[in-house]
Amino acid sequence: MSALISLNPMQTTNASGLFTTNTAGYTQGDAQDDPAVKFYLAGGILSTSATTPLWGGVPIQEFSALRQNGQGTLSANLQPGTDTLGSTILQATGSANPTGIAVYNQAYGGITTPQSTAPLFSPGMSVNFYRFGSRARIPLILDPASISIDGQLISTTVYYNYTNNWITTTQPGSQSAIPVQVLAVSTSGNKTVSYNSGTNTANWIYNQYVALCLI
C-alpha cells in the first residue's frame, strides 16, 4: 500500500457500464451546487504521513497550517511562506475523529488514469473539503444494511464505518457519531468510488447506495 499514484499503461480498458435507463443518482464526493455554500469550500494539502491516496467523499482531519522545514542542511529551518498551502489534511480513522469531508468540487488536481478512473490525491497535492457546519450537501456511500434510514428523521444518529468507507446506523465499536444529517437516500444510478489497496487504484462503481449528507 502506497500513497503514491500507481500506473499500469499496458492494461487495456473499455467503456463498459454506459447504458442506463435512468441517470437519476448521486456521485460520491461531488457536493450539490449551492451558491450559499460554495464559499465555504476550503483547501489544504494532503499530509506526507498519509498511507493511501485521498479521494472525494471521505471524512478527513484538518490540522492548522504549519510552516515547513527546509531540505538538506537547512532541514532544521522553518522556512517563511511555507504555510500558504493551507491546512494539513489526513484521512480520518475510527480513532481519529473527522473535522470535515473531502470533495471533488473544483479539485481539478486529482489524478485519473485509464486503470484508476476516480480522481486520487497523493501527499503534497492540494485537496478540497467542506468542514462540518458548512451546510454542504455531500453524497456519501450508505451501508446497504442501513437502508432503513430512508424516511427517518434527518437528525437520526449515524456513524462512519472506516473499514467499508460508508455511512451506517450501526455503531462500529465505541466510535462516536459523525455529525451529518441524511437528507435523502438513492439506491440506484449512483457513482461511488471503489479503492483497491492492492493495485492502489480507485474506480467508479455503479451498484452502491448513497446517502445525501448535510454536514
Positions touching another protein (CB under 8 A) are 9-19, 21, 23-27, 30, 32-34, 112-114, 117-118, 137, 189-191, 204, 212
**Residue 24 C-beta: closest distance to another protein, Å:** 6
Q: Give the span between the Cα atoms of 137 and 30, in whole angstroms.
A: 9
List Cα–Cα distances, 141 to 8, 93, 124, 169, 189, in angstroms: 27, 16, 26, 12, 13
CA nearest to 143, candidates 167, 109, 179, 124: 167
C-alpha grid cell, residue 80: 517563511
**Residue 77 C-beta: closest distance to another protein, Å:** 42
CB-CB contact of 215 with 188 (8 Å): no
Q: Which is nearer to another protein, 30 or 83 (CB)?
A: 30
Q: Is 145 helix (H, G, I), strand (E, B) or coil?
A: helix
**Residue 27 C-beta: closest distance to another protein, Å:** 4
List Cα–Cα distances, 3 to 65, 129, 182, in angstroms: 21, 19, 30
**Residue 151 C-beta: closest distance to another protein, Å:** 17
Q: Which is nearer to another protein, 179 or 189 (CB)?
A: 189
CA nearest to 136, candidates 144, 128, 124: 128
C-alpha grid cell, residue 51: 498511507
Q: Which is nearer to another protein, 24 or 78 (CB)?
A: 24
Q: Which is nearer to another protein, 17 or 124 (CB)?
A: 17
Q: Which is nearer to another protein, 15 or 153 (CB)?
A: 15
- Phi, psi for 147 (deg, rounded to 5): -60, -20
**Residue 84 C-beta: closest distance to another protein, Å:** 30
